[in-house]
């Protein structure tokens, strides 16, 4: 990989991508950053600010996942394309196909078709997810060795059940299919669990921000279900994309997950630093959650049945031993994120 060539980052204004752009700019790269609307100051102002204080150069390009060919101009001249753009929403939509699946899958195909057309491209790093590895937490009971690894694929999500996870697995499958149809560029996927940690933008729709807001705002004061997540810091996720982009030995899928924690465990950690906040203090019994969740949270009983009450384990050894990712302690990730949300006015100062 020629480090003098520009690097394309799709969905550059997003929560994770902004940290990738920062990392590349700080290292002195020319970054071809795609956004949906480069004239929308609120989405891109933070990117210009990152560029000002860096050794690198930022160039913005307008591109939409569902517009065929719209990423080609940004990809021209790049050897490395980091494709992060994809909606990460789990509620607030009526048509999962239009909101999630179509932009994720068609969008990935559009980006990769342009990679096929641009002769300079040598590697694509795709932001996939552990949602592409498993669909529901209950699957941990059948995972070989009781742990989720890169060998596994989500075969249980659908448009009607876990549509976000479905969008991620279908997009990743599409990416591997397109990759196998040619030989000029190779594909590496980064499969993060729930990404937490400070955001460089307040404009993101990322569900990561909603999880933290729900914990700190008092919405979950009465209690939380026993829902466990793999958690990883956004800064490590960004570093992993850049490492995967330039390591000639990088190949295949990399789970990025540092810790597992339930919502209550996250709240308990946060309370040590933010004792005045109405963080949840108890776990609600599964039968009660199942009873109220469809009305109180718009979540199906099937989701509760298959996801509440299971302990998860993720094998992150490929990310540590092969990519060289160093994970920070969970308390630092959670507290930095919470503090940033207070500073940005997303949580009331108490």
Residues classed as catalytic: 168
Angle between helix axes 15-26 and 234-246 (nearest 10 degrees) is 60
Binding flag, residue 250, ligand NAP (CB under 6 A): no
Q: How far apart are CA 166 and CA 105, in angstroms?
A: 10
DSSP codes of every residue in 129-143? -GGGT-SSGGGGGGS
Using the rule CB under 6 A, is 336 a contact of ligand NAP? no
Residue 303 binding ligand NAP, by CB under 6 A: no
Nearer to ligand NAP, 105 or 284 (CB): 105
Using CB positions, name the residue nearest to ligand NAP.
Answer: 14
DSSP-assigned letters across all residues of 304-349: HHHHTT----B--HHIIIII---PPPHHHHHHHHHHHHHHTTSS--
Cβ-contact 247, 318 below 8 angstroms? no
Size of site (CB under 6 A) for ligand NAP: 28
85 binds ligand NAP (CB under 6 A): yes
Is position 6 an interface residue for ligand NAP (rule: CB under 6 A)? no
In angstroms, what is the minimal distance from the CB of 230 to ligand NAP? Answer: 9
**Residue 220 near ligand NAP by CB under 6 A:** no
Taking the complex as a whole, how short is the minimal distance between the CB of residue 64 and ligand NAP, in angstroms?
4
Strands (E) in 75-220, as ranges, are 80-83, 123-127, 186-192, 194-196
From the CB of 49, what's the least distance to ligand NAP, in Å? 16
Distances (CA, A) of 110 to 80, 174, 186: 16, 11, 16
99 binds ligand NAP (CB under 6 A): no
Contact between 316 and ligand NAP by CB under 6 A: the answer reads: no
Give the contact letters, 11-30, x = binds to ligand NAP (CB under 6 A), - = no: x-xxxxx-------------
- Residue 133 to residue 128: CA distance in whole angstroms: 9
Q: Is 43 in the site for ligand NAP (CB under 6 A)?
A: yes
By CB under 6 A, residue 263 contacts ligand NAP:
no
Does residue number 192 form part of the binding site for ligand NAP (CB under 6 A)?
A: yes
307 binds ligand NAP (CB under 6 A): no
Near ligand NAP by CB under 6 A: residue from 162, 208, 239, 319: 208
* Contact call for residue 195 and ligand NAP (CB under 6 A): yes
Strand order of the sheet with strand 7-10? 57-62, 30-35, 7-10, 80-83, 123-127, 186-192, 252-256
Closest approach of Cβ 111 to ligand NAP, in Å? 10
Taking the chain, what is the end-to-end CA distance rounded to the nearest angstrom? Answer: 49
Q: Between residues 104 and 284, which has the closer beta carbon with respect to ligand NAP?
A: 104
> 61 — phi, psi (to 5°)?
-130, 140
Of 38, 54, 86, 257, which lies in the binding site for ligand NAP, with binding defined by CB under 6 A? 86
Contact 154, 131 (CB under 8 A): yes
Of 265 and 290, CB closest to ligand NAP: 265
**CA dist 1 to 5, 123, 127, 344, Å?**
8, 8, 19, 38
Binding mask 129-168 for ligand NAP (x = CB under 6 A): x--------------------------------------x
Residue 231 parent element (H or E): strand 228-233
Contact footprint for ligand NAP (CB under 6 A): 11, 13-17, 35-36, 43, 64-66, 84-88, 103, 127, 129, 168, 192, 194-195, 204-206, 208
């Amino acid at each position: 990989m020629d480090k003098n060539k520009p690097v394309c980052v799709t969905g550059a204004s997003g929560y994770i991508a902004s940290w990738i752009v920062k990392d590349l700019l700080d290292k002195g790269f020319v970054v071809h950053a795609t956004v949906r609307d480069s004239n929308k100051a609120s989405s891109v102002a933070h990117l210009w600010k990152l560029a000002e204080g860096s050794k690198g150069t930022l160039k913005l390009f307008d591109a939409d996942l569902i517009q065929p060919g719209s990423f080609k101009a940004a990809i021209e001249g790049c050897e490395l394309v980091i494709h992060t753009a994809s909606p990460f929403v789990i509620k607030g939509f009526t048509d999962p196909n239009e909101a999630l699946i179509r932009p994720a899958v068609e969008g990935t195909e559009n980006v990769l078709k342009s990679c096929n057309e641009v002769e300079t491209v040598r590697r694509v790093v795709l932001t996939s997810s552990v949602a592409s590895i498993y669909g529901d937490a209950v699957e941990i009971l059948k995972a070989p060795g009781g742990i989720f690894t890169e060998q596994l694929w989500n075969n249980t999500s659908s448009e009607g059940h876990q549509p976000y996870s479905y969008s991620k697995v279908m997009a990743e499958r599409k990416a591997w299919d397109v990759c196998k149809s040619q030989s000029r560029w190779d594909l590496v996927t980064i499969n993060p669990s729930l990404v937490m940690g400070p955001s460089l933008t307040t404009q993101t729709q990322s569900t990561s921000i909603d999880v933290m807001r729900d914990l700190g705002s008092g919405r979950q004061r009465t209690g939380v279900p026993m829902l466990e997540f793999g958690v990883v810091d956004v800064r490590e996720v960004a570093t992993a994309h850049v490492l995967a982009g330039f390591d000639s030995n990088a190949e295949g899928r990399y789970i990025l997950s540092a810790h597992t924690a339930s919502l209550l465990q996250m709240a308990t950690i946060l309370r040590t630093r933010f004792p005045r906040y109405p963080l949840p203090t108890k776990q609600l019994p599964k039968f009660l959650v199942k009873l109220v969740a469809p009305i109180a949270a718009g979540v199906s009983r099937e989701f509760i049945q298959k996801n509440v009450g299971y302990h998860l384990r993720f094998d992150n050894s490929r990310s540590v031993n092969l990519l060289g990712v160093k994970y920070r302690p969970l308390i630092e990730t959670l507290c930095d994120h919470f503090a940033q949300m207070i500073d940005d006015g997303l949580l009331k100062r108490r």
